[in-house]
Amino acid sequence: MREESQREQSRGLLADYFTEAELARELRKSTRTVKRWRALRSGPPWTQNGKEVLYRIESAREWLRSQQVQPVRERKKAARRRVIGGEA
């Protein structure tokens, strides 16, 4: 929490945003990877402030949550339940 409050004080209006380098550091990826995601439109949504690319922190969290993959075994169980339950 302390880190976030320091961030708010130092960045003002941009406190709720990561730079490309900050997002890469948080996700433990290279900035090149983050740039590639943006070019392919497969990464988190972004905003541009002039030439600077910014990522809203909450949007990055939502995007990360959306990347969750269900284990294969669980998907098979869910499909089996639909067939047995007559939902197929």
User: Is 59 or 8 the better-scoring residue by pLDDT?
Assistant: 59
User: Are the C-beta atoms of residues 67 and 61 closer than 8 Å to each other?
Assistant: no
Q: How far apart are CA 36 and CA 32, in angstroms?
A: 6
User: Is 70 or 32 the better-scoring residue by pLDDT?
Assistant: 32
CATH of the domain at 58: 1.10.10
Q: Domain of 42?
A: 2-85
Domains held by the chain: number: 1
Q: How far apart are CA 15 and CA 4, in angstroms?
A: 8
Q: What is the mean pLDDT of the chain?
A: 86
Q: What is the reported pTM?
A: 0.69
Q: Which residues fall within 8 angstroms of residue 13, CB to CB, at 6 or more apart?
A: none
